Structures are given as structure tokens and as C-alpha cells.
A = this chain, B = another copy of it.
Amino acid sequence: MGEFDLIDRYFKKPVHHADVGIGDDCALLSAVPGHQLAISTDMLVEGRHFLSTVNPEHLGHKSLAVNLSDLAACGARPKAFLLSLALPRVDTAWLEGFSKGLFRLAGQHECELIGGDTTQGPLNISITVLGDMPQGQALLRSGARAGDDLYVSGTLGDARLALEAFRGHISLPESVFRHARARMETPTPRVQLGMALRGVASAAADISDGLLGDLGHILKASGVGATIELSEAESLLGCSAIWPCPSELAHTCILSGGDDYELVFTAPSHARDQVQAASSRSQTAVTRIGTIRASAGIEVFDHQGQPLTRRFTSFDHFADA
């Protein structure tokens, strides 16, 4: 199968948002007056972002999900994406599965494939995603203010728990592993919550490298610090509902797990009702885990109100380099 047959067979679909999709030198998208375009890109590499054993359908889902998660963090509505794919060989079973997982999630968010590139090479998946929102309504990292509440969406740490099991560092009961693995391989981008938080949240980021690391981006951009109450955060590990996770492991997974694709966000304390309304409207749980303060840094307080002294590091793709 040649390059163009491959594109026609697995990736060419009719477009609705775009004026021109796959098949010309560029895709064309008309400007929506009064709107801003939000654009983000993520590259996934075997061994770094996914294991070689991953189900291709899950990989198709995850490749788009991690990009949609960036749109969610800005409160953007997804519109379109471009996919560049380096493949070691044309493997039709893999392409069937990958495109199925990809387009299922794309369809759920009415996000259409408008262009891309395919080539032979070590497996590499690079997606650029485009969304939009009314001018000036984007959620930025820089808007957190001292006194704001600190929230996260959904559950945290399960993807890291699965990774620890895959690496053989821990052993999990079958049902726990299944749950954790699903969170790692098929994360849910919080697109509806992000849109519902426009005009409510003061700052937001998505959690891809771990809560402390990504919260750190908000704090740096906003010039503030934060305190986290472990008593509030501890229940965030999804698996803890079905399995008594050792406390230290749970803390590591929740605070610096990575691959969560939940939102961490801040909002003024007078907006608690609005945050709850956004949570209900988007059918996405949110948990208040702490407070923004003026002084820099993050302090985590234990159940006794004592600051934890243990250091947590966030994920860095060049940490070994």
C-alpha cells in the first residue's frame, strides 16, 4: 500500500468545520469573527509515552486525548486536528485499530481530521489540535491570585500506579490493574469542564507531568504559591475505592504521577457555587485540595496539619539525558 492509498483508506473523512480538509497542500479554515483560535501540539514516542504492547485502538484514543486535554485546559471547543505519523511499516491491523480509537474520540468531540503527513520511520505520532473560544475567554496559567481556591478534576495517580505495575515495581490485584491500566491508556480529556470553567476559573493547566509539576507552571506564570491539604487530596486515587493502596505510594502517584490528563485550576473563593455548577454541567467531579498564597512554592500539609518534607519530582522527558 502506498502513502496516498494509506491516507485514503484510513484517514480521509469528510469535513464540516473546515472549508478544505485532506487532499490539498493546506487545509483551510474560515475565521470566526470575535473568536480566538487555540492551538497545541503533542508528540508521542514508543517507550516514552506508550509501551510497545499497547492496544493500537487505545493508542489512537490516547494520541488525540492528550492533545484535547490541552484545549480543555484553555477552555477551548475542539474543531480540528492534523496527524503526522511515522510508521516502521504498513501494518493494516495496527492502522485499523489506531484509526478506530482515534476517530471514535474525535467524533465524541466533533473534532475533525483536516490534514497530516505519513512517512516510514521509527513509530512516532505527532498531532496538532485546533479549537476556539470567544475572544478573551481563554483560561490561562497566569491568572491565579493569592486567596484563590485550588481544585483538580476527576481522579489522580492511577496511570502512575499502572506504570509501576508494568515496570514490576509493585504487584496489583487483577481488577485494580485493569482499572489503573484503563486510566493510563484511555484518559478522558476534560473538554466539557474546561469550557464550563470559562469566566469562572482564574487559571488552569492540564496534568500531564504530575500535579506538583503542572501546578508549578500555574504558580510560576501567576507569581504565587500554593498549599495542598493531603487530607483532601488523598482520596483522589481512583483505585483507592477498590484497593487499600499503601499511603506513601498513593501520595507519590497523586502528587507526582503524571499522565493523568485531569485539570488543575484555581478560582476565587466567592465562585465556589459556580465551580460546582460547572462540575455538574460537565458531569465531571472536581475536588478542592488547597489554596493559592502569595509566597512562592508548594507546601503539602498532612492530616495533622504538619508540612510534608519529602520531595516530589515531576516528569521530565530529558531527565535521563
Contact = CB atoms under 8 A, between A and B. Distances in A.
Contact of A126 (B71, B74, B84, B142): B84
Interface string A29-56: 1111111111111110111110000000
Contacts of A37: 28-31, 37
Given A126-B126, A128-B82, A119 B39 contact: no
Interface in A238-252: none
Interface stretch (A16-24, A149-157, A301-309): A16-24
A295 B119 CA distance: 32
Given A27-B39, A28-B138, A33-B33, A317 B119 contact: yes
A261 to B, nearest CB: 11
Given A24-B74, A29-B37, A206-B25, A43 B119 contact: yes
A38 B320 CA distance: 38
B24 A221 contact: yes
A116 interface: yes
Contacts of A138: 20, 26, 28
A230 B229 CA distance: 77
Contacts of A105: none
Contact of A119 (B49, B114, B131): B49
A294 interface: no
Interface in A74-127: 74, 76, 82, 84-86, 89-90, 114-122, 124, 126
Interface of A: 1-4, 6, 19-20, 23-43, 45-49, 70-71, 73-74, 76, 82, 84-86, 89-90, 114-122, 124, 126, 128, 130-132, 135, 138, 140-142, 204-206, 221, 316-321
24 contacts: A2-B319, A3-B317, A3-B318, A20-B138, A24-B74, A25-B40, A25-B70, A26-B38, A26-B70, A26-B73, A26-B76, A26-B138, A28-B39, A31-B35, A33-B33, A39-B128, A45-B86, A45-B119, A47-B121, A82-B128, A120-B317, A120-B320, A120-B321, A128-B128
